[in-house]
Amino acid sequence: MLNFFTFTHFKKSPSLLHAVTTKSNDLPYAFSLALHTGEDTKKIRANRKKLSDLLNSEKTLHYIVADQTHSDNIKVITQKETKGWESLSDAIEDCDALITDVKGIVLNVLTADCVPILLYDQQKEVVAAVHAGWKGTKAQIVSKTVQKMTEIYGCDPRDIIAGVAPSIGRCCYEVGEDVAVHFSHIPGGFTPVGKKYMLDLPFINKQQLLAAGIQEENIEMSHTCTACHVDRFFSYRKEQGCSGRFMSMIGMRNSNENKTKKEDVRS
C-alpha cells in the first residue's frame, strides 16, 4: 500500500487536496514519477495512473506538471486541462512554480533533494506549488510566487499557509563557497565545515516566506531530510545521481465533491 507524507494544517481544509509521495519497492522504479529521467515511460505512466486513482476523486482531476529548469519562472494556470502528465511534450515549459484558482486542477513538482513548497490561500481559494533548488532559492522563487499570488488574485500573505516538504537538509547538503556565498546575508543559512559549507535550503526558504509576509505559525516544516530518509524519499546526492523523483501535489476539489477518504491518503 502506498503511503503519503501530508501536512497537518492543510488537512484542516476539506476542499484542499494535497500529498507528497514516498517510495514503494512494490512498484516500478520504487514508484518514481519522473518522465524525464530515461525510465520506461509506460511504467512511469502506470505509476501516475495509480497515484491519480488513489486520490479517489468523484470528478475528473486535471494534473499540471512543468519542465523544471531551476529558474524563477512562474506560470498561472487558468484553464482546466492536463499538461505534462501523460507526456513531456505538453509539459509547461521552463517553469518552476505553478499557481491556480481553478478547482479540479492539481499542481505538481518533482524533486529528489530540492525543496518542494506548497501554498494555499483559503480566503481567495488559490494554490501554488514551488520547486526550489539552490538556484531557485537564490532567485527567491518562493517569495516571487507569493508576490504573484498577491498581484493576480489579491491574496493577503497573512492568509497563506505553507508546507515545506521533505528535501535535503543542512545535515547532508555540502556545498562549496561558490554556492554558499549567495546566502551569506542570511543568518544561520549555512554552517562552515572546513573549506565546505552545510547549506540549509529549507530554512532559507522559510526565511523568504517570512520576508514575503507569511506568518510563522502558517508555515509547516517537514523537518525531513531526503538524504537521511532515503528509504522513503529519492535523494540525488545520497543515491549518487538517482533517476527517481517523488511528487508534491496540491489542488482544490471540485464543488460539491466529497472529501477523500482518510484511509486513502496516509501520513
**How many whole angstroms separate alpha carbon 206 and alpha carbon 142?**
9
Residue ranges, the chain, pLDDT below 70: 1, 56-58, 256-267
Residues 219-250 as b/e (b if ≥16 CB within 10 A, e otherwise) read bbebebbbbbbbebbbbbbbeeebebbbbbbb
Please, how many CA atoms are within 13 Å of residue 246, restricted to the half-sphere of its CB? 29
Range of the domain at 126: 4-169+219-257
Question: Is position 45 within any domain?
Answer: yes
pTM for this predicted structure = 0.95
pLDDT computed for residue 59 by the predictor: 78
Whether the Cβ atoms of residue 118 and residue 162 lie closer than 8 Å to each other: yes
Cβ neighbour number for residue 58 with a 10 Å cutoff: 11
pLDDT computed for residue 55 by the predictor: 84
Question: Is position 185 within any domain?
Answer: no
Distance from the Cα of residue 109 to its chain's centroid: 5
Distance from the Cα of residue 127 to its chain's centroid: 12
Question: Is position 190 within any domain?
Answer: no
pLDDT computed for residue 140 by the predictor: 98
State the CATH number of the domain containing residue 238.
3.60.140.10
Measure the N-to-C terminal CA separation of the chain; round to a whole number of Å.
12
**Grid coordinates in use for 219?**
508555515
Question: Is position 182 within any domain?
Answer: no
Beta-sheet pairing, 190-193 with 160-164: unpaired
Question: Is position 106 within any domain?
Answer: yes
Kindly provide the residue ranges of all beta strands, DSSP E only, lying in 93-158, ordered along the sequence.
97-100, 105-111, 115-121, 126-132
Question: Is position 133 within any domain?
Answer: yes
Cβ neighbour number for residue 27 with a 10 Å cutoff: 15
Question: Is position 9 within any domain?
Answer: yes
Total domain count, the chain: 1
Question: Is position 155 within any domain?
Answer: yes
**pLDDT tens digits, 73-103:** 999 999 999 999 999 999 999 999 999 999 9
